[in-house]
Amino acid sequence: MNITKNTEENMGLLDKAKESVEKAKDISLDLVSDENLASMIVAACTKQENVNEALKTKGSIYRIADIDLVMGIPPKVVFSIHREFGD
């Protein structure tokens, strides 16, 4: 029956798509070694401290409050900015 065949083909495609997503997820984590990830964390934290000091020196009430590392292709560092009230 054609309907059954099409459904089986679609399920096969969905399974292949899920498998591809899992492989891509594994590859993106494997692309960054533990040493490189540690270096990224240190660099991001150093950048946060330096920028926050510069903002404070300028009298700004804004600070980098959060850092997110996105392990995609390519990996990304995302900074969140918050307002500080009083020192």
* Mean pLDDT confidence for 60-82: 91
**pLDDT tens per residue across span 23-56:** 766 665 666 788 888 999 999 999 999 999 999 9
Alpha-carbon distances of 24 from 29, 40, 56, 67, rounded to whole Å: 9, 21, 41, 24
* pTM across the whole model: 0.61
* Mean pLDDT confidence for 74-83: 92
Give me Rg for the CA atoms of the chain: 22
User: Dihedral sign, CA of 44, 49, 50, 52?
Assistant: positive
Q: Output the pLDDT for position 77.
A: 92
CA distance 51 to 7: 55
DSSP code at position 9: H
